[in-house]
Amino acid sequence: MKRISLTQHLIEEQRLHDSIPAELRLLIEVVARACKTISHSVGKGALGDVLGTAHSENVQGEIQKKLDIISNEILLEANEWGGHLAAMASEEMETIHPIPNRYPKGEYMLLFDPLDGSSNIDVNVSIGTIFSVLKAPEGMATPTEQDFLQPGTKQVAAGYAVYGPQTMLVLTTGNGVKCFTLDREMGSWVMTQRDIKIPEETSEYAINASNARHWYPPMQQYFNELQAGKTGVRGRDFNMRWIASMVADVHRILNRGGIFMYPADKREPDKAGKLRLMYEANPMAFIVEQAGGAATDGKGRILDIAPHTLHQRVPVFLGSRSEVERVTAYHKA
Ligand code: AHG
Ligand code: MN
Ligand code: MN
């Protein structure tokens, strides 16, 4: 099979669909390069002194791991100087990071979850990086947090890297979903899937069921029906998987179907769910929709949500269309 590199793919996309201007290509390549560096650190583990906690807290009150901070720094440094960005935002930074004045500015804005699945770092289980790309609003002078608060439909690109047995990059620019595998010897990203499609039907679900007693009734009803399997209203058995790295769970679902859920619960009613809209739910929803799946917050399409803060949380139901529609219907009833 002829090897198509990430660069070649991006150039061909631009020629065919006029959808990836040179600055956006640079941005995607720089993010991909940063993910290569993160992958290298992840792979070193204890030998690179990257495991364990950093003894600091992020804005969400979570204890940061060393790799959360290292990955954040790698992405910031890689993206600062290229001239393609106006500003960045990250799970690990309280507020936005405008491009310093010593560098030229571009028209894009980059958001990321530098290290997704932090609880899995120290136990050598798959983790990842998630990113989302927006355009700076027309006439923006000095970027502010407000400029980032655009609905997910405005994303011009989104992707994730998964650091597992293989390191992969999954990418959409609004024209389907492509997957690239890192050739570690050559140091290059090689396309290994051209058009990922999520199977419409599934018998596999992903949820942290230890929270079941805190859920609201629609979630409990849906879950009880899945658990009842053949003996209940669904009339067939379902299987369960939960990796606790959204990237790894979504990657499985892209490849063999399934539904991923992180619902809101009664413990902290004003914190709607655990996952963050701007750099977890939105990019994943964009990818999942581009792969023919669906993504809702239980009420409507995630991509249509008008954000009000950078770190806002959102309930997430995404994956195979039939199950996402069903659980969403229960919430609407
Ligand atoms: P992060 O490591 O970026 O904070 O994200 C972790 C998220 C997500 O990746 C995963 O699906 C979920 O948290 C796991 O939550 P539980 O620990 O509640 O299972
Ligand atoms: Mn995350
Ligand atoms: Mn994270």
Which residue's CA is minimally distant from atom 3 of ligand 1? 116
Quote the pLDDT of residue 197: 98
Q: From the alpha carbon of 113, which atom of ligand 1 is closest?
A: 3
Q: Which residue of 67, 119, 277 sits with most ligand 1 atoms within 8 Å of its CB, as the best mutation to test the pocket? A: 119
Share of the chain above pLDDT 90, in %: 93
Q: Which residue of 208, 210, 246 sits with most ligand 1 atoms within 8 Å of its CB, as the best mutation to test the pocket? A: 246
Least distant ligand from the CA of 274: 1
Instruction: Please say whether the beta carbons of 74 and 48 come within 8 A.
Output: no
Least distant ligand from the CA of 114: 3
CA of 247 to the centre of ligand 1 (A): 9
Task: Return d(Cα 201, Cα 315) in angstroms, integer.
Answer: 22
Ligand 1 first shell, C-beta below 6 A: 91, 113, 116-119, 208, 244-246, 274
The segment(s) of the chain belonging to CATH 3.30.540.10 are 6-193
Task: Return d(Cα 80, Cα 100) in angstroms, integer.
Answer: 8
pTM: 0.98
CB-based neighbours (< 5 A) of ligand 2, an ion? 113, 116
CA of 289 to the centre of ligand 1 (A): 21
**Domain 6-193, CATH homologous superfamily name and number:** Fructose-1,6-Bisphosphatase, subunit A, domain 1 (3.30.540.10)
pLDDT per residue as tens digits for the range 172-198: 999 999 999 999 999 999 999 999 999
Pick the closest to residue 114 from 73, 148, 71, 60 (CA basis): 71
pLDDT per residue as tens digits for the range 45-70: 999 999 999 989 888 888 899 999 99
CA of 120 to the centre of ligand 1 (A): 9
CA of 15 to the centre of ligand 2 (A): 34
The segment(s) of the chain belonging to CATH 3.40.190.80 are 204-332
pLDDT per residue as tens digits for the range 99-149: 999 999 999 999 999 999 999 999 999 999 999 999 999 988 899 999 999
CATH number attached to the domain at 204-332:
3.40.190.80
Using the predicted structure, report yes or no on whether residue 218 has a pLDDT greater than 90.
Answer: yes
- For residue 222, give every residue at least 6 positions away whose Cβ sits within 8 Å of its Cβ, in sequence order, or none: 326, 327, 330
